[in-house]
Amino acid sequence: MATPATRIVFDPVVGFDPGLALVDDRLIGLLAVWRAKASAAPGGLPDRRDFGLEVLHRIGVLPYAMVVDVIGGGASFRFRLVGTRIVEMASRDATGRTFEEAYPAPLAAKFAEVHRWVTVERRPARYTGSLYFHGKDYYSFELLWLPLTDGGTDAAINLGAMVYGPQGEPALR
């Protein structure tokens, strides 16, 4: 019998929190750095160069980080980087793939909805919920997305960090 393909169950819109009631200290730290950079940036958005690997490592989110390119003003999105801990959890690496290439159409559309909101509103967003990867346990997660520029003033990249733990873990509720 063939091994079933990886099945991902995740509704990124259910746990939408534009109020940013973050729980995880690493995500709180990442948001603090983003806010400090945004307050000094022309146009109010920090640049991707403000969040190099050394910065993400210092905050403690590098293995949990995702960098997503905004294509055509939000017509499409491509994973530029997916952190090692996320790749390990998912047993797949979406780096270099568009959402449409990486996921079934309904899930790709939900991911795009999340990223369009962050891109158009030019604001961070927090998402929480549960996800399940075929053959693995359910996980609770907390995810922060931050819009960044790429040398201009438009939101061109979304930086995310997702922390997760066993389903129902108190720190991630």
pLDDT at 143 over 60: yes
- Joined tokens for residue 122: 């030019």
User: What pTM was computed for the model?
Assistant: 0.87
Domains and CATH numbers, the chain: 19-172 (3.30.450.20)
Q: How confident is the model at residue 134 (pLDDT cuts 50, 70, 90)?
A: low
What is the SS3 assignment for 115? helix
pLDDT at 22 over 90: yes
pLDDT at 79 over 90: yes
Q: How many CB atoms lie within 10 A of CB 86?
A: 23
Nearest to 128 by CA among 80, 169, 69: 169
**Burial class of residue 166 in the structure, from the number of CB atoms within 10 Å of its CB (0-12 exposed, 13-18 middle, 19+ buried):** exposed
Q: How confident is the model at residue 7 (pLDDT cuts 50, 70, 90)?
A: very low
Alpha-carbon dihedral 172, 98, 119, 85, rounded to 10 degrees: 30
Angle at the Cα of 131 (from 125 to 133), degrees rounded to 5? 135
